[in-house]
Amino acid sequence: MSKLTPVIFQIGWNACINCGACVAICPQKAGFISPFNTIAVDRPCDIACLICEDICPVSTITHTKAHPEHPILEKTKKQ
Amino acid sequence: MSKRYDIVVIGSGPAGTTTARIAAENNLKVLLVDKKQELGSPIQCSGAVSRHALEAVGIDPDEEFIHEAIYGFDIYNQLGAHKTIDYRNLKPTEYGESAGKKPLGYVVDRRRFDRYLMTQAERAGVDVWLKTEGLSYEPNVAGDCRIQLRRFNEAITVQAKVLVGADGLQSQVGKWAGLPTHIKLQELASCLQFIVDQVETNGLLEIITGHEWAPGGYAWVFPKGHGYAEIGLGVARTMTKHNAQWHIEHFMKNSFFKERFEHSKILEIQGGGVPLAAPLKTQFADNLILVGDAARHVNPITGGGIHTALSGGQIAGNFLADFFQKNIAATSENMKQYQEQWLVALGNKMWKLYEVKTKIFRTKDIPERDEMLYQTMSDYFSPDSEYKKI
């Protein structure tokens, strides 16, 4: 998959230790955070550098390709 | 009408509480907010801090937050050869357990420590709001800034002249100001630690180097009080195909300490990202300064951040006291003086340490790099180290 394809992250909450490393490494703009102090999981990441997956000490972050008709991606297109 | 403060501090860790406390001690009106319900948790830190670091910012080593006293270091290479730097032997009249003698430092409980520091800030007159998240800040024409907060789901706007971002490595405040806060993957160590039972320690911070155990970082065994120990490590993910969890298991099962760890029982699991990086190049903006991890005030060799947070908070608090005396505008230019003061007191030495660190990890030959790290760590913690007080 091209790294430029927007992705949606999934977090395996069972392994997540809430260490904050994914947010610390994330180059996204302010606010790309979940209510559980991880990277956001409810909207696409258009950078898709995936370094949050690398930094995670317990490797509990994965991703799927974001659907092109996701409302946030649609909104970005229109702007 | 919204509430008005001289200073709003976002993030109630060692840097934020120290900034807030010192500003309040200088009669400034300070609001300290933190989104958590209890501070310091989940723990993302090993908790080692020197006694000097506490005393320098007017914090008494209190049993409320101390897990265990520390008297020195033991630095290991990959195979188990080690250099012991025990101040009980090096300076026996000064350091020791007996009456009249002192420890070199402590391993603290970050939950209790951060709460203690907050208490001191509150007693100095700081207003503290927990369960309060910062959402945005906006400088206005009057020379103040508007800070949007959310407290127990309620939207609140607060006016202040200066916003202090003390919101950690995950800092959003720096991003609000458009500061380039992004850290490179090779400079953020991916860390994992276990609090364990049935591993003996001897009042020393043990640091284990070697690419085999912790590529791009190091492993540690720290005393944790009550007979417990802390086993942890940090790795640079650009230097290994495995994650920190794999490495800590490998270290515990296969290193020269495998017999020592054989009967260890895990009591807690903690993790975090630790920057082995340069300080942030710009730690200020209009109506804004950053302190602590948010400004990357972390020792790039050791990854230690409590001392640097406390010292940075003290510098920020004193700077703000002075700044409000002058009654000048909180422009980016005027805020820059904070960073200048910080560089002189601490930052320039941290930049030097960063150069040392970079030289080590740029060395391609692994045995040579391992030897450099072992030597640097051994020198760093020696009594005659030029960097002793960072």
A22: containing domain: 7-78
Asked if residue A60 belongs to a domain, the reply is: yes
pLDDT digits (tens, 9 = 90+) for A9-21: 999 999 999 999 9
Asked if residue A74 belongs to a domain, the reply is: yes
Question: How many domains, chain A?
Answer: 1
**Closest residue in chain B to residue A20, using alpha carbons only:** B272
**Rounded to whole angstroms, how far apart are CA atoms A50 and A54?**
7
pLDDT digits (tens, 9 = 90+) for B149-185: 999 999 999 999 999 999 999 999 999 999 999 999 9
Q: In CATH, what is the architecture of B66-106+184-276?
A: 2-Layer Sandwich (3.30)
Looking up residue A56, the CATH number of its domain turns out to be 3.30.70
Asked if residue A46 belongs to a domain, the reply is: yes
Query: Which CATH number does B3-41+109-183+279-358 carry?
Result: 3.50.50.60
For residue B154, what are the β-bridge partners?
B151
* A21/B190 Cβ within 8 A: yes
**Closest residue in chain B to residue A19, using alpha carbons only:** B272
- State residue A78's pLDDT score: 55
Which residue in the set A30, A51, A58 is minimally distant from B243, CB to CB? Answer: A58
pLDDT digits (tens, 9 = 90+) for B252-283: 999 999 999 999 999 999 999 999 999 999 99
Asked if residue A50 belongs to a domain, the reply is: yes
Asked if residue A1 belongs to a domain, the reply is: no
Residues of B whose CB is below 8 A from A54 = 185, 190, 237
* A57/B190 Cβ within 8 A: yes
**Rounded to whole angstroms, how far apart are CA atoms B99 and B82?**
30
User: In chain B, helix, strand, coil percent, each to 5?
Assistant: 35, 30, 40
Residues of A whose CB is below 8 A from B237 = 54-55
**Closest residue in chain B to residue A29, using alpha carbons only:** B175
SS3 assignment, position A75: helix
Q: Decide if B339 touches A, using CB distance below 8 A.
A: no
Asked if residue A16 belongs to a domain, the reply is: yes
- State residue B388's pLDDT score: 65
**Rounded to whole angstroms, how far apart are CA atoms B72 and B55?**
18
Over range B277-306, report the average pLDDT.
Answer: 97
Min Cα distance B331 → chain A (Å) is 22
* B192/A57 Cβ within 8 A: yes
Tell me, what's the ipTM? 0.93
Which residue in the set B172, B245, B272 is minimally distant from A21, CB to CB? Answer: B272
- State residue A69's pLDDT score: 78
Asked if residue A2 belongs to a domain, the reply is: no
For residue B192, what are the β-bridge partners?
B233, B271
Asked if residue A14 belongs to a domain, the reply is: yes
